Amino acid sequence: MAALSGQRIAIVGLGASGRAAARLALRHGAEVHVSDDADTPALREYAREVEALGARVRLGGHDLDRIATSELVVASPGIPPRAPVLSSLGKAGEHWISEPEFAFRFFRSSLIAVTGTNGKTTTSALAARMLDEAGVPTGLGGNIGGGLGLPACELALRDPPPDWLVVEMSSYQLGAISRFRPDIGVVTNLAPDHLDRYPDRDAYYADKARLFANADPGCRWVLEHNVSGALPLADEVPGERFHFDAGGSPNPDAGARERVLSAYARDGWLMLELDGREEPVLRVADLPLAGRAGLANTMAAALVARLVGAGRRAIAAAARTFRPLPHRLERVVERDGVLWVNDSKATNVAAAAGAVRSFDRPIVLLAGGQDKGEDLAPLADAIRGRVRRVIVYGDARFRLEEALAGAASQLRVETDFDAAVHAAARWARPGDILLLSPACASFDQFPDYEARGHRFASLARGEA
């Protein structure tokens, strides 16, 4: 248990994570200073809450001198590394840690940490659900959004602590760790993302690889079958590795340090294999999560649950009853033979390409929004032969048009999101999937991907 009595701690950001970090620091006797660039009625209310507990709060800017003289600086997950306050600290040679790193120092539970480019929220939530079904006291939180879990520091405040914590970790959070070490670490997949905030793909991957920074022989790693080649991992990273493959076959290359526990699909069943013995878990057709991406997330969660000790029946029951998360390959409605699928959370090319590959039915694809500067060639490769018609819209529409024109039989360009949805509806035929998987951020026309997904769902149901 870390002792903070009398230490000066600065917390950057007064969102949910910042407030949780302040409460945790105050609980352990620290002198806490919290600051935020913004100054809104909601933040003023939050400020009063933490001030009542003993913290000092500054809104509308940061006192860099005060932050720099603190013994520890904790950055909330919404503060990107290039934000002026962190950039200024970095230029002055000062360091900061992420909010989950701070929480880790007070965890009294075994830890499962989940990262990856896509699918980490679904995998985290489903793993926690499987453990709950198996009767294992579990807490869910971290970078997970949509009110599904608690900030990591809030989990550290739980008394009594649960046996296990499942914590979702973003690249930004992993990039600012020093001691963080999971008992079970999960990488769902890797593909270039956040290139509007990282200088290149390698820098983004390097932050993801920080998951392994403090590995020891007791660690266990759950990895998508080909992710090791993308991660800058040294062969000597200690711990056991366990693989899943939604493509249909077990990992053939398990080394001597890797127990033979893997997950794969065979003959329509999700299978677990342990030390050469196959165990059918449930039929793939019974999964409520759509497509191969949903299957991969289920496999990763199943491996985690099995490693903790959950049995096949608990894993299968949780997988069958798990409700797909909003805006992630979410089946909205089937109308006139057309299945409308909301994948608004697919804000990068890899997620959209994966969504397209998840379905066997013909697809009418909606793609567009705010351009993140990614290479669009992988999306063109994915839609070739799978997508009949593409509607591109928003700020990225012309670059998408240029990249995708030769890959689909028909392509239409729209400026407005609603107009793009209406055009897709006119083009769709019975048996089609009308898929919103934008491959872009939402900020050209919406405050976030959730607002975009809600608008799509309203139009799908004929409510707007």
The β-bridge relationship of strands 97-98 and 164-168 is: unpaired
Q: What is the pLDDT of residue 440?
A: 96
Q: Report the alpha-carbon distance of residue 207 to residue 193 in Å, rounded.
A: 12
**Of 332, 274, 253, 329, which is closest to residue 297 (Cα–Cα)?**
329
- Residue 430 is predicted with a pLDDT of 95
pLDDT of residue 257: 41
Tokens describing residue 79 = 């503060």
- Per-residue pLDDT, averaged over 135-151, amounts to 88
Lowest mean pLDDT among 172-186, 244-258, 314-328: 244-258
Domains within the chain, CATH numbers bracketed: 8-95 (3.40.50.720), 106-321 (3.40.1190.10), 330-460 (3.90.190.20)
- So what's the pLDDT on residue 256? 36
pLDDT the model gives residue 146 = 63
Report in angstroms the alpha-carbon separations of 88 from 21, 66, 313. 22, 13, 53
Instruction: pLDDT band for 259, please (50, 70, 90 cuts).
Output: very low
Mean pLDDT, residues 109-134: 95
Q: Mean per-residue pLDDT for 63-87?
A: 89
Beta bridge partners of 147: none
> Does residue 254 surpass a pLDDT of 50?
no
Instruction: Please tell me the predicted confidence (pLDDT) of residue 252.
Output: 43
3-state secondary structure 63-125: CHHHHHCCCEEEECCCCCCCCHHHHHHHHCCCCCEEHHHHHHCCCCCEEEEEECCCCHHHHHH
Predicted TM-score (pTM) of this structure = 0.83
What band does 260 get if pLDDT is binned at 50, 70 and 90?
Answer: low
Confidence band, pLDDT 50/70/90 cuts, at residue 80: confident
The pLDDT mean for the chain works out to 90
Determine the pLDDT at residue 237. 85
pLDDT at residue 261, as a whole number? 67
DSSP states of 366-410 as a string?
EEESB------HHHHHHHTTTEEEEEEESTTHHHHHHHHTTTSSE
Residue range 401-452, pLDDT digits in tens:
999 998 988 999 999 999 999 999 999 999 999 999 999 999 999 999 999 9
